[in-house]
């Protein structure tokens, strides 16, 4: 057994049984199943135990010493498992039956593959299919090499299978150098950070690809966005460190990066975040029939940052 499927779980009682059913329906079952309980205060753990009393299989639950967040949970798994490959499933999502099998078969078919992802479909809080999804990533090694060589960020879904030892060799999920308290910046773009770090290994012939097939249903909340600023700031941090590594310079911790950022650049990122929030919230308003408020928010997005609005619509990321 050289694969661990891990579920980081915090107060997931509303959806965890659906996720467990999807795990039980996987066409490949030869994997270690590990739950990281991030000090849930609801009945998540009891539901997991009851489910496997009725449908027995091997599994393990590890409870963190205190609530530490998603990135810390993933880092714990990387450091405390011995399997060659890791695959994370979110505690409120629904992997389709061939999800594990197809990702595992692909990554084991070529020793140069260090991570393999797939496309994701969106479902709403009721489990209904809704428009959109995550359709990111390079489909072949040559395209990945070209992208990595150009020092591009590597966007791919978090629910991807990857080589644990290679991930740790470039630092794994990073939890050091962040300010205490919330927001937990280490939990923002944590997988983008990992995939981009792993992209440094392109020079050794390793590659990250995706299967252009929807194998996973991602539950998307209906709430309106409050702030994209942390996400944008974190992406800039990841990009800065990518360039520094390629130049042979030491990386900056997030705290160091934030302290060194000029005020005018910080203001620009805040305008970009405001544009992103208004664009996303305008989309949700229109979808919910609130036409006036929807177009008002879209107009505000254009005013806040015209270039950001244009690029998002151009690339159809919100799939209007």
Least confident of 73-82, 238-247, 277-286: 277-286
Please state the pTM of the whole predicted model.
Answer: 0.88
Mean pLDDT value across residues 208-212: 97
| Residue 318: band (very low, low, confident or very high) from pLDDT cuts 50, 70, 90 | very low
- Residue intervals of the chain classified under CATH 3.90.550.10 are 3-219
Least confident of 71-80, 112-121, 281-290, 304-313: 304-313
Helices (H), 25-69: 44-54
- Provide the greatest CA pair distance for the chain: 59
| Residue 319: band (very low, low, confident or very high) from pLDDT cuts 50, 70, 90 | very low
Structure confidence at residue 222 (pLDDT): 63
Bridge partners of residue 60, in order along the sequence: 34
Per CATH, domain 3-219 is 2.60.40.1180: no
Mean pLDDT value across residues 252-274: 87
Secondary structure of residue 40 in the 3-state scheme:
coil
Instruction: Indicate the helix (H) or strand (E) that contains 18.
Output: helix 16-24
- Give the residue from 185, 305, 306, 180 showing the smallest Cα distance to 235: 185
pLDDT digits (tens, 9 = 90+) for 45-65: 999 999 999 999 999 999 999
Pairing of β 161-163 and β 85-88:
antiparallel
Between 227 and 200, name the one with better pLDDT. Answer: 200
Helices (H), 66-225: 70-80, 99-107, 141-149, 164-169, 190-198
Structure confidence at residue 268 (pLDDT): 78
Structure confidence at residue 38 (pLDDT): 97
Query: Which CA distances in Å does 270 have to 276, 296, 308?
Result: 10, 19, 12
Between 307 and 105, name the one with better pLDDT. Answer: 105
| Residue 220: band (very low, low, confident or very high) from pLDDT cuts 50, 70, 90 | confident
Structure confidence at residue 284 (pLDDT): 63
Structure confidence at residue 225 (pLDDT): 52
Mean pLDDT value across residues 267-288: 71
**pLDDT tops 80 at residue 305:** no
| Residue 296: band (very low, low, confident or very high) from pLDDT cuts 50, 70, 90 | low
**pLDDT tops 80 at residue 84:** yes
**pLDDT tops 90 at residue 298:** no
Mean pLDDT value across residues 20-30: 98
**pLDDT tops 50 at residue 317:** no
**pLDDT tops 60 at residue 224:** no
Phi and psi at 95, nearest 5°, equal -70, 135
Q: What is the DSSP letter of 108?
A: T
Structure confidence at residue 287 (pLDDT): 66
């Amino acid at each position: 057994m050289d694969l661990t499927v891990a579920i980081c779980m915090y107060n997931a009682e509303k959806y965890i049984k659906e996720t467990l059913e999807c795990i039980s329906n996987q066409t490949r079952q030869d994997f270690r199943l590990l739950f990281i309980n991030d000090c849930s205060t609801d009945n998540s753990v009891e539901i997991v135990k009851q489910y496997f009393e009725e449908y027995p299989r091997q599994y393990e639950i590890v409870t963190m010493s205190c609530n530490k967040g998603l990135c810390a949970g993933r880092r714990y798994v990387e450091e405390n498992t011995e399997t060659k490959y890791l695959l994370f499933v979110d505690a409120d999502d629904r992997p389709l039956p061939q999800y594990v099998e197809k990702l595992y078969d692909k990554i084991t078919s070529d020793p140069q593959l260090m991570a393999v992802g797939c496309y994701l479909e969106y479902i709403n809080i009721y489990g209904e299919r809704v428009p959109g999804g995550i359709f990111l990533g390079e489909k072949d090694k040559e395209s990945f090499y070209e992208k990595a060589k150009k020092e591009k960020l590597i966007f791919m879904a978090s629910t991807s299978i990857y080589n644990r030892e290679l991930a740790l060799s470039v630092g794994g999920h990073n939890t050091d150098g962040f300010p205490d308290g919330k927001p937990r910046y280490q939990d923002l773009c944590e997988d983008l950070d990992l995939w981009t770090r792993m992209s440094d290994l392109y020079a050794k012939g390793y590659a990250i690809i995706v299967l252009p097939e929807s194998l996973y249903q991602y539950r998307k909340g209906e709430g309106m966005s409050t702030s994209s600023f942390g996400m944008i700031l974190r992406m800039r941090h990841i990009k800065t460190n990518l360039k520094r590594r390629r130049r042979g310079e030491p990386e900056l911790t997030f705290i160091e990066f934030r302290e060194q950022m000029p005020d005018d650049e910080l203001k620009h990122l805040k305008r970009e975040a405001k544009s992103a929030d208004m664009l996303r919230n305008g989309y949700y308003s229109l979808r919910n029939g609130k036409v006036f408020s929807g177009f008002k928010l879209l107009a505000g997005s254009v005013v806040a940052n015209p270039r950001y609005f244009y690029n998002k619509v151009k690339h159809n990321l919100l799939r209007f």
